[in-house]
């Protein structure tokens, strides 16, 4: 029972993502940011900041690692830490003025850079892609949760 061509789908997923990553990373590095650092800036953009815990959940980065990334962004004066007024254990991370300015400058540029690549696709193409991808994600998410639950 090995009719379903799953492997080609996985290969395509990996290749599509790597192509995106490499295209995106090239542009991100011109901003003197690493991809994880760019993720954090993008997550914090247009918000008033959020606890490190929440930032970790949104970016899928574990707390120990995140402390290091936030440290490096703090050194660059792009984010700051503020103690939470409600919870003494919690640190809220937010963009500084400089971080906001960077976000405002690079995020549209980053998007425009990526949009360039999409000019030839129709709205329908995009909608099909979105459907296929969300279906794919669901498959893994469900399976992952099941595995975790069965430990």
Partner DNA sequence: TATTGTTATACTCTATAACTATA
Partner DNA sequence: TATAGTTATAGAGTATAACAATA
Q: Contacts with a second copy in 41-70 (CB under 8 A)?
A: 60
Q: Interface with DNA by CB under 7 A: which residues?
A: 29, 34-37, 51-54, 56, 61-72, 81, 84, 87-92
- Residue that has been written with the tokens 């892609």 in this structure: 129
Return the number of the residue (12 or 71) whose C-beta is nearest DNA: 71
Minimum CB separation of residue 19 from a second copy in Å reads 4
Return the number of the residue (27 or 53) whose C-beta is nearest DNA: 53
Minimum CB separation of residue 29 from DNA in Å reads 7
CB under 8 A: which stretch of 46-54, 67-75, 82-90, 108-116 binds a second copy? 108-116
User: Which one of a second copy, DNA, none is in contact with 64 (Cβ closer than 5 to 8 A by kind)?
Assistant: DNA
Q: Do the strands 79-83 and 50-51 form a parallel or antiparallel pair, or are they unpaired?
A: unpaired
CB neighbours of 31 closer than 8 A, spacing ≥ 6? Answer: 38, 102, 106
Q: Which residues bind a second copy (CB under 8 A)?
A: 3-10, 12-20, 22-23, 26, 60, 111, 114-118, 120-121, 123, 125-130, 132-137, 139-144, 147
């Amino acid at each position: 029972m090995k009719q379903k061509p799953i492997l080609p789908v996985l290969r395509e997923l990996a290749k599509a993502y790597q192509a995106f990553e490499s295209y995106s990373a090239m542009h991100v590095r011109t901003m003197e940011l690493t991809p994880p650092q760019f993720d954090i800036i993008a997550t914090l953009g247009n918000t008033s900041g959020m606890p490190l815990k929440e930032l970790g959940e949104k970016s899928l980065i574990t707390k120990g690692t995140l402390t290091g990334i936030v440290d490096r962004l703090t050194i660059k004066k792009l984010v700051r830490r503020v103690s939470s007024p409600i919870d003494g254990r919690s640190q809220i991370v937010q963009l500084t003025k400089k971080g906001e300015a960077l976000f405002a400058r690079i995020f549209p540029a980053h998007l425009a850079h990526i949009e360039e690549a999409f000019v030839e696709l129709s709205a329908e193409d995009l909608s099909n892609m979105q459907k296929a991808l969300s279906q794919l994600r669901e498959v893994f998410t469900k399976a992952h949760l099941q595995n975790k639950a069965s430990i």
